[in-house]
Amino acid sequence: MTTGSAVRRLSAWDAERLRGLAEEYETPLYVYDLERVRDNAARLQSAFDEEEISYAIKANTTRPVLSTIEATGVGAECASAGEVERALAAGFDGADVRYTAVNPPARDLDYVVDTAADEDLIVTVGAADTLDQLAERGFSGRLCIRANPGVGAGHHEKVSTGAAPKFGVPLDRVPDLAAEAVDRGFDLVGLHAHAGSGISGGDLEAHRELVARMGELSRTVIADVGNIEFVNVGGGLGVPYREDQAPLDLDAVAAATRDAFGDVDARLGIEPGRYFVADAGVLLTRVNTVKPTPETTVVGVDAGMTTLVRPAMYDSYHAIRSLAADARTREPVSATVAGPICETADVLGEDRSLPDPERDDLLVVGNAGAYGYEMSSNYNSRPRPAAVALEGDEARLAVRREAVADITGLETWSE
């Protein structure tokens, strides 16, 4: 049983409503549909009904999104002290929050150790060094060890983490570190690994291999040091970005995951981020310049790589559609949709067929709910956009538009 469709194309968004939101809140504007977030959560919970699910909140930490996901009963995986703070503030139970330490700054560890004492957080370490730093701080909470499984996957080499030395303890060193942790009095409750982000059907073999390696590792660790509560095999479930891409068959992924894990006396867990939120969000942007050139029609818009960095950073494809009310009556042109930033990489889409664009047309960019606002920046002193959350017929401002004064307000130097 699944809830809603596994694919939500751009054409499913109500164009008239989006035009109204752009008028009211101006552009660039992120729009999140909370009902779609719930649908995505329900689909995950239906497929992974025997597993423990956490939301990797780095994908979208906007408060209404966090509260909506918290209400579905899943946990939260956090990549920083700031994310832990936001997860707790949104209502996640401390016992369901995991902090994944990646070269953790001392300030993160101070906060997390302090908070863990009251909130029962789980801290995941990916280096023996981090274990020492926790011991130095008198950490007495629940501990998880992140393994580097030696197998990675993902939509781009920059997001394939499973074999990158930066992440996790090499698989063959995990049993010794686990034994050492238990000897030193840590409460070892789990093991963890993550292959990478944006896993598609073609990556399933890599996923299966990672899970199989984690199954074997957990059997060794349990035999050495006794029971643990869980083995989390990471996030990474991809969603279709192109119109012709098929969605992941979640039931098949869940079955393959269980099968590869085998018979281990610990709860299996996953921690997707993107799957919860990607197609629950769009980015609205307005055309400010139309420039025909011999190669292409350059369509200049008010959102750029500072608003949505994925195309510039990973060459990611995001569908773009014109919301001009008379779009159907216009001839299509081949367009390059480019932002206002002084970088050649500041292009949201190339070779896009758009109804003959005009200044002030509204465009909508798809699948912007994951790693969109989260990765936005202030480069070129561009204020970050606003975000609106939709709950049924209601729309509420979730994040106000940044002003230049918000940026300059951080400066302490005055003449």
Ligand X SMILES: N[C@@H](CCCC[NH3+])C(=O)O
User: Which residues sit at the interface with ligand PLP, rule CB under 6 A?
Assistant: 56, 59, 77, 100, 159, 161, 194, 197-198, 234-237, 271-275
379 annotated as ligand-binding: no
- The string over 290-310, giving b where at least 16 C-beta atoms fall within 10 Å of a residue's C-beta and e elsewhere, is beeeeebbbbbbbbbbbbbbb
Question: DSSP readout, 294-319?
Answer: SS-EEEEES--TTT--HHHHH-----
Beta carbon nearer to ligand X, 317 or 371? 371
Beta carbon nearer to ligand PLP, 162 or 340? 162
For residue 28, cis peptide bond before it (omega within 30 degrees of 0): yes
Beta carbon nearer to ligand PLP, 25 or 167? 167
**CA dist., res. 174 & res. 339, Å (int):** 46
Q: Is 106 exposed, middle or buried (0-12, 13-18, 19+ CB in 10 A)?
A: exposed
Q: How far is the CB of 210 from ligand PLP (least distance, A)?
A: 12
Binding status of residue 371 toward ligand X by CB under 6 A: yes
C-beta of residue 251 within 8 angstroms of C-beta of residue 327:
no
Binding status of residue 310 toward ligand X by CB under 6 A: yes
Of 223, 342, 405, 410, catalytic: 342
C-beta of residue 347 within 8 angstroms of C-beta of residue 38:
no
Six-digit token string for 51: 């597993």
Residue of 115, 130, 197, 336 interacting with ligand X (CB under 6 A): 197
| Partner in contact with 142, chosen from ligand X, ligand PLP, none, beta carbon below 5 to 8 Å by kind | none
Is 342 an annotated catalytic residue? yes
Beta carbon nearer to ligand X, 178 or 283? 283
Compute the Cα dihedral for 163, 168, 170, 171 and give only its sign.
Answer: negative
Binding status of residue 80 toward ligand X by CB under 6 A: no
184 annotated as ligand-binding: no
Q: How many residues bind ligand X (CB under 6 A)?
A: 7
Chain-centroid distance of CA 41 in Å reads: 14
Six-digit token string for 311: 């195309």
28 annotated as ligand-binding: no
Binding mask 313-332 for ligand X (x = CB under 6 A): -x------------------
Chain-centroid distance of CA 181 in Å reads: 30
**CA dist., res. 279 & res. 43, Å (int):** 13
310 annotated as ligand-binding: yes
314 annotated as ligand-binding: yes
**CA dist., res. 329 & res. 333, Å (int):** 13
| Partner in contact with 271, chosen from ligand PLP, ligand X, none, beta carbon below 5 to 8 Å by kind | ligand PLP
Q: How far is the CB of 79 from ligand PLP (least distance, A)?
A: 7
Residue of 104, 198, 311, 340 interacting with ligand X (CB under 6 A): 198
Compute the Cα dihedral for 18, 24, 28, 32 and give only its sign.
Answer: negative
Chain-centroid distance of CA 175 in Å reads: 30
Binding status of residue 275 toward ligand X by CB under 6 A: no
Beta carbon nearer to ligand PLP, 196 or 385? 196
| Partner in contact with 75, chosen from ligand X, ligand PLP, none, beta carbon below 5 to 8 Å by kind | none
Six-digit token string for 353: 């067929």
137 annotated as ligand-binding: no
Backbone angles phi, psi at 177, to 5 degrees: -65, -35
Binding status of residue 305 toward ligand X by CB under 6 A: no
Binding mask 133-162 for ligand X (x = CB under 6 A): --------------------------x-x-
Instruction: Catalogue the active-site residues.
Output: 342
Give the interface with ligand X as residue ranges (CB under 6 A).
Answer: 159, 161, 197-198, 310, 314, 371
